[in-house]
């Protein structure tokens, strides 16, 4: 399995950004509620307010992309540090522990 992952990563057939979307019942319910609330508010807004609301939503999405990228980078660095510690034998249990 690891060889396949490394092979696919090297060949460009695997991207860390490509993930399966979360499809739990709870996630679906929350997203449905968000869409219902968004629809409720946009029905009560003027056209100008709807456009501003949509622009605000786009800003939130753009901001979230920065957070996701930072989280990915941090997780990748932590994973790399863990691998280095394992390869260097840091924290190896001694006999009798």
Measured CA to CA, the distance from residue 78 to residue 72 in angstroms comes to 10
Region 17-37: mean pLDDT is 87
Is the pLDDT score of 76 beyond 90?
Answer: no
Is the pLDDT score of 3 beyond 70?
Answer: no
**Is residue 21 within 8 Å of 31, Cβ to Cβ?**
no
Distance linking the first and last C-alpha atoms of the chain: 32
* pLDDT for the residue 52: 95
Range(s) of the domain holding residue 78: 46-86
Task: Among 1-5, 46-50, 93-97, name the most confident range.
Answer: 46-50
Q: Is residue 51 part of a domain?
A: yes
Q: Is residue 53 part of a domain?
A: yes
Is the pLDDT score of 96 beyond 60?
Answer: no
The pTM score is 0.56
Q: Is residue 9 part of a domain?
A: no
What is the number of structural domains in the chain? 1
């Amino acid at each position: 399995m690891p060889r396949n992952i490394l092979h696919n990563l090297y060949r460009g057939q695997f991207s860390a950004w490509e993930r399966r979307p979360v499809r739990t019942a709870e996630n679906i319910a929350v997203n449905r509620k968000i869409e219902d609330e968004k629809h409720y508010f946009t029905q009560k807004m003027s056209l100008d307010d709807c456009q501003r609301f949509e622009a605000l939503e786009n800003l939130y999405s753009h901001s979230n992309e920065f957070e996701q990228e930072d989280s990915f980078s941090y997780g990748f660095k932590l994973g790399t540090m863990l691998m280095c510690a394992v390869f260097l034998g840091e924290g190896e249990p001694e006999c009798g522990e």
